[in-house]
Structure 1
Amino acid sequence: MIYVVLWLHALVWGALFLWSYWREPRQFRNAFFFFFFCACTLGAAAVTFDQWWITFPIFLAVALTPVVTIVFMLVNEVTLVRREGFSFAHALPLLFACAIVAWFCALPGALALQAPGAVVGFILAITACGAWFFLSFAALLLYSWLYRSLPRKRHYEFIIIHGAGLAGEELTPLLRGRVERAYELWVTQGRHATLVPSGGQGEDEEISEAEAMARHLRILGVPDTQMLLEDRSTTTWENLKFSRDLIAEHSSGGAPRSALVTSDYHVFRASMYARAVGLSADGLGSRTARYYFPTAFIREFIAITRSYWWPYATIMGLWAFTLFFRMLR
C-alpha cells in the first residue's frame, strides 16, 4: 500500500510541475516542483520493484555530498585563481566550502560545549536555514539544467545578447561565446531576426560592450540593418529593461518573441528577470568553461536567493517568537 501513496505523491508533484511550467517556465517554484517529483518518483520506483539499490545512490550522495562539495570547491578555487587571478568573486568557492564546514560543525559544537538553550535554538534555526539553502541550490541546479536542455522550436524576431566584460576593445572568451551562440541561432533561423547586443561602457572599458559585440557580428557577416545596439545598461536588469524598450520601438506591434542569449549558468536568472520586466523571451545558453561554472552558478544562486528571502525570515521569525515566548514564561 505504501507504494500507492508514494506514486500518488509523485503524480501530485508531477502535475503541479506540468501546470506551473505550462503557465510560466521562468518561475523559481518550478525548481522545487520538479525536484520533489524526481525524488518521489525514485522512491516509489524503489518500493514498487523492491529494488532498493535505486535509492542507495541517493542516500550515498546525500551522505557524501558535504565532503565531495568541499573538496570540489577547494580544487575549483585553486584552478580559478591560477587561471584568472584572485578576487572576491573568485573566492566564492572557498567561502562556500567554509560555510558548509561551519554549518555542519555548529550544532555538534554547541551541544559539546553545553551552550545555553537560546544559543542552541539559534543554531538550530541557522541549521534549518542552511538545509533550505542547500535544498534550493540542488533544486535550482537540476531545474536550470532542464530549462536549458528542453528544445524550443520557435521563431524569434529579436535575439538579445547579454554583455559581459571586455579586454580593452576585444571580447573576452565568455562574451565571444555568447555572441557566436547568438550568431548560430540567427543563421539557423534563416538570418531574418534582429540581433540586439546589450551592454554599456564600464569605467575600465574603452567602448561599450554593445559596440564590441556589434564589431564581431559584422566580421561574421551580420549587416547593420539587422542590429539594434543597446549601449546604456550596466546590470542584467537594465539589459532586459532597455532591450525591451528598444524592441518595442522597432517592432510592428504586439509582443514579439525574443531569445535571450547568455552564458549557460546565467540563463535562468536572465529569464526570470525577463518575465519580471514583461519581456516575452526564452533563455538560451552558451557554454561556460568547466572550471568557471561552479563559481558563476553560486553567484547566480545568491542573486536569485536575495529575491526569495522570506523562507529564511520565516525560520528566524519562528525562532525569535519561540525565544520571546519562553522569556515570558
Structure 2
Amino acid sequence: MLLIVGVGFLGVFLLRFGKDRRRLSNGVFLLLGLAFTGVWLLGSGAGGDLPVVLAGLLVLLSPLLVLLLAGLLMVNGVQLIRREGLRVANLLPLGLGVVLLVPYVLLALAIFTGNIWVIVILASLTMAVSYLGFLFASFLLYSLCYGALPYRPGMDAIVVHGSGLVGARVPPLLASRLDRAIEVYRAELAEGRTPLVIASGGKGTDEAVSEASAMAGYLVDHGVPADCVVLEDRSATTRENLLFTKRLLGERSHSTRMVLVTSNFHILRTAILARRLDLDAEVTGSRTAFYYLPAAILREFAAVVAAYKWINVLTCLALVALPVLALLLTQDMPHNYGD
C-alpha cells in the first residue's frame, strides 16, 4: 500500500512538472512520493511490525536531527555575523536555531512539572513547526532539483537581476550572476540566436550609480556587444524587475520569451513569481558562497510563506488548535468512565 501511494504521488509530480515546473507544489508531491516510497523500502527490509519499527526510528532520530540542525544554524549565524556584520537578515539562522530548541525546553518543563497543559501546548507548537518544516523540506528539495535542470537555449531575452552594488562597484554576488548570464548568452550564440541581455536594477540610496548601469558596463567589458545590452534601471524588487522588463520588451515589440538569471538560492522563488505574473520565463542560477546559503535560503522560504500567508496561517492555527480541542473534549472522560 505504501508503495502504491508513493508511486501515485511521484506520478502526480511528473505530470505537474511536465505541465509547468515553476510550482512549489511540485516539491510537495515529490517529497511525499519519496517519503512513502522510502518508508516502503525501509519496511520491506525490516523484520517485525512495520509501524513499530518506523515509529522507533522516528522517535530516536527526529530529536537528534532537529538538535543537529539547530546547532548548525547557530554556528552558521555566528559565522555570517562575523563575515558580514550584525544585521537583522544575518541574525536569521541564529534566531531559527534558538527557536528550534524551544520545544525541547518546553518538553523538559512538561516532564518536570507534569502539567498536562504544558504538554498540550508543546504538542500544538510541534504540529505547527512540523508543518513548516515539511514545507521547508519541500522547498529545499525542489530548489535543488530545479537548480540542477540544464539550461535549454531558445530565449529571446536574458534578464540579469541585480543584487546591490558597493558604491559603483559590482560585488562578487552580482558578478557571479553576470558571469552566468554571459555563459547563457554564449550558449544562445552557439545555437544561432542573438538575444537581448537586460541588466535589471535601480539605484539604491547608498549606491553611486544604478545597478543596471554598473551591470551593463561589466557585461560589455566581458565581451557582450553593447548593442545587445539593455538597461532596466527603475526596479527595486524582484517583482518590479519582472514587471518592468515585460513592459520594456513589449515597448520594443520584442518577444517576451526570457530566461531570468539570479543566484541559485533565489531561483525557485523567482520562478514561482514569474508564473504568478504569467510570464513566459524560466530561471537559471549562479553559484553562491556556501557560508551565505543557509541564511539566504531561509529568507527565500520566508518570502514564499509570506506570499501564501493566509493558507499557511490558517493551516498553522488549525494544527495548533487540534491538541487543545482534543484535551477539552476528553479531559472529563476518565471520570465519566469511572462512574
**TM-score, normalising length: structure 2:** 0.85
Q: How does 1:22-101 map to 2 (within 5 A)?
A: 22-48=18-44, 62-101=62-101
- Tell me the number of residue pairs that the alignment of Structure 1 and Structure 2 aligns: 318
8 Å Cα contact 2:128/2:320 also seen in 1: no
AA at the equivalent of 1:7: L
Q: 1:302 is matched by which residue type in structure 2?
A: A
Distance 2:300 2:225 in 1: 34
Q: For residues 280 and 51 of structure 1, what CA distance do their matches in structure 2 show?
A: 51
| 2:206 counterpart letter in structure 1 | D
CA RMSD of aligned residues (A): 2.7
Q: CA deviation at 1:280?
A: 1.1
Q: Which moved more, 1:147-156 or 1:266-275?
A: 147-156
- Please say if residues 239 and 273 of structure 2, whose CA atoms lie closer than 8 Å, have aligned partners that are also in contact: yes
Which of 208, 216, 220 is the equivalent residue of 2:222? 220
Distance in 1, Cα, partners of 2:84 & 2:316: 38
**1:184–1:292 CA distance, 2 compared to 1 (3 A):** same
What does residue 153 of structure 2 align with?
A: 154
Please say which of residues 180-189 and 96-105 is displaced more in the overlay: 96-105
Q: What residue identity is the alignment partner of 1:228?
A: V
Contact 2:202 2:233 in 1 (8 A): yes
Contact 1:129–1:312 (8 Å) recurs in 2: no
Q: Give the 3 Å change call, closer, same or farther, for CA 43–120 of structure 1 in structure 2.
A: closer
CA distance in 2, matches of 1:75, 1:286: 25
CA distance in 2, matches of 1:219, 1:51: 65
Amino acid at match of 1:162: H
What is the DSSP-based 3-state SS (H/G/I as helix, E as strand, rest coil) of the residue aligned with 2:285? strand
1:179 corresponds to which letter in structure 2?
L
- 1:123/1:284 Cα in 2 relative to 1: closer, same or farther (>3 Å)? same
- Out of 7, 10, 14, the position equivalent to 2:10 is 14
SS at match of 1:45: helix
Deviations 1:16-73 (A, max 9, x none): 1012212221111111101011112222233445599xx89x8576443212212211
Instruction: Verify the 8 A CA contact 1:74 1:94 in the aligned structure 2.
Output: yes
Which whole-Å CA distance do the structure 2 matches of 1:259 and 1:267 have between them?
11
The share of aligned pairs that are identical, in percent, is 34
Cα deviation digits, residues 101-120 of structure 1 (max 9, x gap)? 01333344245435574x65
Assess if the C-alpha contact under 8 Å between 1:93 and 1:294 holds in 2: yes
Cα separation, 1, equivalents of 2:243 and 2:102? 39
Quote the offset at 1:156 in angstroms: 1.1
CA contact (8 A) 2:260 2:281 kept: yes
Superposition misfits of 4+ residues, deviation over 6 angstroms? none
**Equivalent residue of 1:283, what SS?**
strand
Q: CA deviation at 1:257?
A: 2.1
Q: Is the 2:211–2:233 contact (alpha carbons within 8 Å) kept by the matching residues of 1?
A: yes
For 2:198, give the aligned amino acid. V
- In the superposition, relative to structure 1, how do residues 9 and 84 fare at CA in structure 2: closer, same or farther (>3 Å)? same
Query: Does the residue aligned with 1:306 lie in a helix, a strand or coil?
Result: helix
Task: Quote the Cα distance in structure 2 between the aligned partners of 1:100 and 1:139.
Answer: 18
Taking a change above 3 Å as real, the CA distance of residues 287 and 51 of structure 1, as seen in their structure-2 partners, is farther
Give the aligned residue type for 2:146: Y
Tell whether the 8 Å contact from 1:125 to 1:316 is kept in structure 2 after alignment.
no
Show the counterpart of 1:312. 313
Q: Which runs of 5+ in 1 are unaligned?
A: none
In 2, distance between residues paired with 1:304 and 1:134? 14
1:221 shift after superposition: 1.9
Structure 2 unpaired stretches of 5+: 49-53, 333-339
SS for the counterpart of 1:205 is coil
**Secondary structure in 1 matching 2:261:** strand
Matched letter for residue 289 of structure 2: A
Could you list the per-position Cα deviations for residues 166-196 of structure 1 after superposition, in whole angstroms to 9, with x for gaps in the alignment? 0110011100000110011101110611111
User: 1:122/1:247 Cα in 2 relative to 1: closer, same or farther (>3 Å)?
Assistant: farther
CA shift digits 1:218-273 (9 cap, x unpaired): 101222221221111111111111111112222445xx321111000000001111
Counterpart residue number, 2:336: none
Bigger Rg, which one: 2
Following the alignment from structure 1 to structure 2, what is the Cα–Cα distance between the partners of residues 170 and 200?
14
* Alignment check: 8 A CA contact 1:121 1:319 kept: no
Structure 1 Cα separation of the partners of residues 157 and 241 of structure 2: 14
Partner residue, 1:233: 235
Q: CA deviation at 1:125?
A: 2.6
